[in-house]
Structure 1
Amino acid sequence: MSRVLPSTVAGTVEHERTVNRSRFIATVEPVVDVPDAERVVAEVRRRYWDARHHCTAMVTGVLGDQARSSDDGEPSGTAGVPMLEVLRRRDLTDLVVVVTRYFGGVKLGAGGLVRAYSSAVSEALDQAALVRRAERTRATVAVPHAEAGRIDNLLRDWAGHHDATFDTPEYGATATFSLWVPEDALDALRADLAAASAGTLVPESGPTRVVDLPDTTSGA
């Protein structure tokens, strides 16, 4: 069975909450690596240059195996690590979260800070559209132009029902269709194509790679 990997976010989200007059502004952004995450942190620092703290948490790598966090002057363990724990619990990677704090004059205490920073991240992620990732195997099929329209429709529908992705078709001497298919669905694809073409169309299996899939459970 194809391996399911940590998800990421589809785009930037910003969310603000106020706790005892302190403003907590959470910025969530997808990134490709640590330098990209550091670029985002620097941009947030420039945008909110007058804030007291810019606490961060980032997870990168296809497997989510690289993680960093910073309390940025808050008491140790009250900001960055709790923020990172939220990302871990949600099984996310290739993203950075910066929570900017404007101090409101009332100290929150260690427990209050942990709750404030964790909640800021959780509430921002609740608004984020997610992108699932999974390993998929490439399957290609060459189709005569006379049959291209019918097979195009069939394969798009098949992909939607089998958690596969459909590449842009290529047109040359024949129409070439490529799908990225769960490994355990390859036999079903072969059977369905054979049934639709009286056995004349046979997909060729190719390499396996990680692909992005829309997250159907995300509410954003």
Structure 2
Amino acid sequence: MTALSDTANHTNDFQLGALRIMPIALSCIPFGMALGALAVQKGFSPLEIVLMGMTVFAGAAQFIAVDIWSDTISPLTLVGIVVMVNLRLVLMSISIAPALRARKSFATYFVLHFMTDEVWAICMQRRSEKALSLSFFLGAGLTLFLVWAISSYSGAMIGTVMEDPTTYGIDFAGTAVFLTLLCGFWEGCKISLLPWLIAAVVAVLAYKLIDGPWYILCGAISAMVVRAMQYQEREDAVHV
């Protein structure tokens, strides 16, 4: 009876996770299709863009990677930019991993591949209601994973017959996703204004003076330095 009860609980949690994430997953379909259409114009095949989504599974990073993709960009630069964009997922994973009830740590590491902003938000909401289970996380993550793969493949197939996606404003989708993501990091003028301004100025200067997409890394690093200095000043003030 205990084994049957555990199986039923896992199944219910998995279904609940899938149900909770479904409205968000459906809202991601246009973005997945936009990504697929843009990627095809950059030379990706439909299969390649699906494989990219399955291995990276990070919408904002994928949009940025496709946007800056060219024969002149080095793999190291591309990987560095994607890592910078995805660093927040490391913090999200750290915050949620202890709450996952896994019998083996490997299972936790496996399901954390499905960590996204949307899955994290759904799981944190669930955690405030009841103990978060591995099955719930997997239900939410796998559902979004499949929807993203299908929508990006569909967009790629449409992109193969679409002469110019920019006519429909699809080329702006990556920028829109990034700006939406950026808004979530705003912590008010007192904290965020200076790092954001410094990052913008440094990024523009790097864009004008350095060939390639180095302006993204330069802007990000400058903001991190300023933010670290602000944090240190606050810590020093507390201990005075």
Normalising by structure 2, report the TM-score. 0.25
**Greater radius of gyration (CA):** 1
More helix by share: 2
Whose relative contact order is higher, 1 or 2, with alpha carbons under 8 Å and at least 6 apart? 2
Normalising by structure 1, report the TM-score. 0.26
